[in-house]
Structure 1
Amino acid sequence: MVLKFIFELESNNGVIEKILLRVADRLNVRIGLSRDLKNLYAFIDGNEEDIENFSRELSHELPLSIYLKSLNAEVVEEFKDDLNREFPEINLPPCPKCLSEVKDPENENYYNPFHHCEVCGYRLSEKLTVKNEKWKEKFVDLADKLKSEGKIYIQTMNGKFEVSTNLEDAEQIVAVDLAAVATYFMSFEGDAKALGSIEKPLVNLKTNLNFKKEFGLSNPAYFVKLPDCMVLELLCEEIKSDIKLLGLKKTEKSDDFSFEVPNKDEIPVAVVTDTKNHDILIAKGERSLLPKFEKYLGKDLIGYNAKYIASSNENKTVIYKTDEEKESNVNLPFAGYFGVMNQWDLENKVTMGFAFYKEDENKIMMNSPKFGLVEYIDFEFKFEDFNEIFATIKVMNETGEKLVENFKNKAPELFENAIKASLDTKKKGIAYLWGLIGIVLGFADNVDDAYEKLLVYANSAMAKKGPRIDYKMKDKNLDPLWAIRTAMSFKLAGVDNYLLSFGVLESFAEFLSNTYETVDKESPLNGAVIVGDLFEGEFLNKIYTNIKKNFPTFTPKALPMNGAIEAFGSAVILSKS
């Protein structure tokens, strides 16, 4: 009898595969692995008892994963085993098996913060993989100090942190469990899946009334995670009866618990979308994602982008991060677009690519087997100062002239702030435009800070719908003045900063999705590709959800929205030359 497990799984980092192999080996059951673009298949060959035992053991060890969409099983006649069993070595939060072992008083690894296995853990020096220490007492002492003094300084597997019961200035919040998240934050089904996954990403969650009452803080949102290493896991185990949330801030101190760990991976930041299945996307961060194996592109091909390298040799391409930074060796938007297309086998399909970068070009492109790559819309605009912007708005039409005069007379402080603001920045395209809007709304006196503040307001807004900001074309380029002037109008009308900022992002997401739909009606497309570091937070949610509602939508596969994907795309482009 052969039972075929079907895992709808985007990632090929080996986490699920290694758990399957471990369980099969322990039970002495024959197993075969295979996969295609969408699914991982596990073939279990044995009698009914063998398969029942395997299924039961697997259910105990199989973790949630943001990349595991579904799991089904069926009886088949064919046994297949053609998957290369070489997997990358990644840093990964604890798996269910290791978590159960460190909390079992009879286990040799009871309360050992350095315990890990072939599936999970962080790359540590051998001297740290010790056993039979008095770890329980150590974590009791840490918990007691935290309760009495309100803060401790510790090394975790992801860096050194000040851990505090004071959440006001926290950069991250660690919740002891999902129940604590539900108590203090506005979290939903997709948020719980992301937080509880083995990848343990940060998720931006809005605070609820319970949070505001208990902690006396008005902060609208925080980046929240569950314990993502054994150090935090065991600390939370000791405090969970008394303390439900901990604030983390990066520090150089680790006076209360110190050790050396070479991990420099950034913690992934997840965006839980409003799609029907609450698809989870990684905006940034590479922990558990890199190194990554992709298909072989050709001998000695190397693609670069910043600190990311994609090296093709032997039978695969390895994407990894280094300490040395290099410029991309091809055009960044093209690299991002081709990287995603290659991952999803879209190069012979007709697709539209949205490649948007904060400090690089912003482009809407199309690719088809017949015409190749075509640049469709650019987003290139620069201004010397707001004197130029206001003067240009005034000559657009009579309404524009009246708007500028009203803004000057009714919001003189905002007008003067804009006139004096510095427009010197590396920001380009839409990030530059949103920085300009942030300035005219009074968020800051420079593009960079105004852009960041606008994002904070938008991502913290308690809104389902924002005011409509105009994004209009002028030939093959976006005319940025329409967006600026409508933002000015809503500001004069008294729309609050949260709702207005939300509308700025939401309206542009609608502009992009409408652009896709318009082209698709004239000439059917096979899907949309979204890539670039502009796509994060609520903007990524909105654009992905809007297009995904009716059309296939593709983002970097098991990679963040930018960085590594452009390195891989660079190698893809070089392979065609």
Structure 2
Amino acid sequence: MVLEFKFNYIGDNDVFEHLLNFYAKDYIYDISINDEEYILKIKADPDKLSDFCNCFNNISHSIFLTGFEVKEAKDFKPTYKQKQNLENYASLSFLNSNAYVQKNILAENEWGKFCEISLSFDGKNFEKVNKSNFHSLLLKTLDIIKKREKVWMKNHKGIYTFYLFDKEFKEDFLMPCDVKAISSIFVCSNEQLKFLASFEKPLLALRLNALFRQKYDLKIDKFFLKLAEDIFLFALTHELFKENFHFLSFKKNESFMDDFKILNIKDKFVVLEGFEFVHSKIKDLIFAKDDKNMARISYLASRFKQKSLILELSKECDDILLLNKEFNLLKITLPDHSKNIYSELENDPTGKRLLENFQKEFKLLDEKFESKNNFFSLLCIVGRILNLSQDFKEAGQNLLALSDQSRLSRGVKIDFKLNDNKEFDFIRTLRSVMSFMLAGVSAQDISYGVVESLSYFLRDFYDELKQEKKAEIVLISGSLFEHKSLLENVLKHIRDCKLSNVPLRI
């Protein structure tokens, strides 16, 4: 009997190929890979195939696995030759975590790796964890942690300190001692739990539940969470949970590489940071370039065969609307002083009248702007006009936060247009904002309207290129898409928008 498994795997790495080889190694099998489509054919007696399927159900789920189907197939001749240079991962998997919980066995994962971390109890001298010292280090760590003291941990991503969570959200992320503990502090959907528990163990920001926020009078709305990604931390949290401890606080003191961080939109996600699950050859090429961000963008474009429009919207650099890897179609120049805005408004009767009415109700700005030629700087200017903060960048961040918190199904329509010279007309946007302020519209409703209107502008920009057959898909990139309301609106309004495993920024 022959079964054919068809998988859709969007990760540009060897993880899934290795796992298929590992679990099929005792059978007659064949693997074919075509871009994101992986096909595994396997031949055996029905009983053995049933055993394989039961075993295969225990494979660690990957966030890059977006779908699969299985069917009975015709006989085949194996043509697949396993690569000799598949990359190794020391990460926790179901194989070794289950062995510890069910049988108290210290086992390697599917790559034959046990544990890569080193521990220190003084921050200076580190000891590598292995099977021989595992239990003694575990007991010592448990003893120190329960005394409310710190422990240092080193892995390939950096050096961290961790200790028992003390209800203070002052470090970088929390690690739950068990998935059952998450709901005591956070609101976590099934989709989010699935991402957290995946093989990749990403950092994911979750919303704090209302009861916990009220009890401790917290100002923050979200905080990052991460499950144990190696067998030692898994065992440590497992033992702590038995004694009714729920969370560890982690701080990254020294960084060797970015942690793998994602943002989820229902059952989809974008990678915010971290090249850990990008093939090392690609990673080395990107980091060898002087302009690493442009190398990242080029890699993103290379992942798709269709003609693409890349929306590179950044909070740190100038924005780019890149067509087919080479043409930047965005022309945006923002003012570096508030006086430039008001002088522009006075150039026509409508703007002059608006300005006269506006200054009767609101104080005019008189300040320099730390503007870059990007939409984030435009949001910062709007944030200053709305008086969301005295600090320029913080005003933009607060506008985005208000937009993310909004429950509106549709916002007020803010003008986002190009002028006759095909340059972005920032003054129309600001004039629109000022008009809504005079009409008494709240800062939060205007904030959401600005973000939603930006997504409409990007949609219309792409639609024109699509009609001219210059672009077939849209790819999102850049740190501005870390904000959920913008990402949701772009995914909602641009149907040809594609997600990938490429981080939004570097």
**Would you call these one fold, judging by a TM-score over 0.5?**
yes
The alpha-carbon deviation at position 248 of structure 1 amounts to 3.0
Match of residue 554, structure 1, among 489, 498, 501: 498
Is residue 408 of structure 1 aligned with residue 372 of structure 2? no
Is residue 98 of structure 1 aligned with residue 96 of structure 2? yes
Is residue 392 of structure 1 aligned with residue 385 of structure 2? no
The 5 A counterparts of 1:196-275 are 196-240=197-241, 242-251=244-253, 264-274=256-266
Partner of 1:481: 427
Does the 8 A contact of 2:383 with 2:395 survive in 1? yes
Letter in 1 for 2:275: E
Report the 3-state secondary structure (helix = DSSP H, G, I; strand = E; otherwise coil) of the residue aligned with 1:5. Answer: strand
Report the 3-state secondary structure (helix = DSSP H, G, I; strand = E; otherwise coil) of the residue aligned with 1:16. Answer: helix
Does the 8 A contact of 1:195 with 1:201 survive in 2? yes
Partner of 1:435: 380
Letter in 1 for 2:64: Y
Report the 3-state secondary structure (helix = DSSP H, G, I; strand = E; otherwise coil) of the residue aligned with 1:419. Answer: coil
Report the 3-state secondary structure (helix = DSSP H, G, I; strand = E; otherwise coil) of the residue aligned with 1:478. Answer: coil
Report the 3-state secondary structure (helix = DSSP H, G, I; strand = E; otherwise coil) of the residue aligned with 1:477. Answer: coil
Distance 1:485 1:86, change over 3 A: farther
State how far apart, in whole Å, the 2-side matches of 1:499 and 1:121 are: 52
State how far apart, in whole Å, the 2-side matches of 1:280 and 1:14 are: 20
Partner of 1:16: 16
State how far apart, in whole Å, the 2-side matches of 1:236 and 1:489 are: 55
Q: Where in structure 1 are there 5+ consecutive unaligned residues?
A: 110-114, 253-262, 294-307, 311-318, 564-577
Report the 3-state secondary structure (helix = DSSP H, G, I; strand = E; otherwise coil) of the residue aligned with 1:528. Answer: strand
Match of residue 356, structure 1, among 313, 330, 336: 313
Does the 8 A contact of 1:202 with 1:267 survive in 2? yes
Partner of 1:450: 395
Does the 8 A contact of 2:116 with 2:129 survive in 1? no
Letter in 2 for 1:433: L
Partner of 2:150: 152
Partner of 1:339: 299
Partner of 2:30: 32
Report the 3-state secondary structure (helix = DSSP H, G, I; strand = E; otherwise coil) of the residue aligned with 1:535. Answer: helix
Does the 8 A contact of 1:206 with 1:220 survive in 2? yes
Is residue 73 of structure 1 aligned with residue 65 of structure 2? no
Distance 1:189 1:116, change over 3 A: closer
The alpha-carbon deviation at position 180 of structure 1 amounts to 3.5
Partner of 2:121: none
The alpha-carbon deviation at position 145 of structure 1 amounts to 5.0
Letter in 2 for 1:345: K
The alpha-carbon deviation at position 181 of structure 1 amounts to 3.4
Distance 1:379 1:14, change over 3 A: same
Partner of 1:326: 290
Which 10-residue stretch deviates more, 447-456 or 117-126? 117-126
State how far apart, in whole Å, the 1-side matches of 2:141 and 2:172 are: 21
State how far apart, in whole Å, the 1-side matches of 2:335 and 2:215 are: 47
State how far apart, in whole Å, the 1-side matches of 2:357 and 2:262 are: 42
The alpha-carbon deviation at position 83 of structure 1 amounts to 5.6
Is residue 535 of structure 1 aligned with residue 481 of structure 2? yes
State how far apart, in whole Å, the 1-side matches of 2:86 and 2:272 are: 21
Letter in 1 for 2:203: L
The alpha-carbon deviation at position 288 of structure 1 amounts to 2.7
Does the 8 A contact of 1:92 with 1:288 survive in 2? no
Distance 1:381 1:266, change over 3 A: same
Letter in 1 for 2:330: D
State how far apart, in whole Å, the 1-side matches of 2:435 and 2:152 are: 50
State how far apart, in whole Å, the 2-side matches of 1:271 and 1:108 are: 33
Report the 3-state secondary structure (helix = DSSP H, G, I; strand = E; otherwise coil) of the residue aligned with 2:352. Answer: helix
Distance 1:271 1:423, change over 3 A: same
State how far apart, in whole Å, the 2-side matches of 1:546 and 1:466 are: 14
RMSD: 3.4
Deviations 1:6-55 (A, max 9, x none): 11111242222222222233xx2222221112211122122223322222
Does the 8 A contact of 2:88 with 2:111 survive in 1? no
Distance 1:499 1:232, change over 3 A: farther
State how far apart, in whole Å, the 2-side matches of 1:456 and 1:127 are: 42
State TM-score, norm by structure 2: 0.84
Distance 1:54 1:145, change over 3 A: same
Match of residue 472, structure 1, among 398, 407, 417: 417
Deviations 1:480-510 (A, max 9, x none): 1222333344455665555543433232112
The alpha-carbon deviation at position 66 of structure 1 amounts to 1.2
Report the 3-state secondary structure (helix = DSSP H, G, I; strand = E; otherwise coil) of the residue aligned with 1:472. Answer: coil
Partner of 1:59: 57
State how far apart, in whole Å, the 2-side matches of 1:505 and 1:280 are: 20
Does the 8 A contact of 1:203 with 1:269 survive in 2? yes
Deviations 1:372-411 (A, max 9, x none): 9655x4132132311111221343442x334434443433
Does the 8 A contact of 1:176 with 1:240 survive in 2? yes
Letter in 2 for 1:288: F
Does the 8 A contact of 1:271 with 1:540 survive in 2? no
State how far apart, in whole Å, the 2-side matches of 1:430 and 1:121 are: 46
Does the 8 A contact of 1:6 with 1:39 survive in 2? yes
Does the 8 A contact of 1:273 with 1:544 survive in 2? no
The alpha-carbon deviation at position 525 of structure 1 amounts to 5.1
Is residue 288 of structure 1 aligned with residue 277 of structure 2? yes
State how far apart, in whole Å, the 2-side matches of 1:450 and 1:120 are: 47
The alpha-carbon deviation at position 471 of structure 1 amounts to 1.0
Letter in 2 for 1:265: M
Report the 3-state secondary structure (helix = DSSP H, G, I; strand = E; otherwise coil) of the residue aligned with 1:40. Answer: strand
Q: Where in structure 2 are there 5+ consecutive unaligned residues?
A: 119-125
Is residue 545 of structure 1 aligned with residue 495 of structure 2? no
Does the 8 A contact of 2:173 with 2:251 survive in 1? yes
Count of aligned positions: 492
Letter in 1 for 2:463: E
Distance 1:161 1:483, change over 3 A: farther
Does the 8 A contact of 1:472 with 1:479 survive in 2? yes
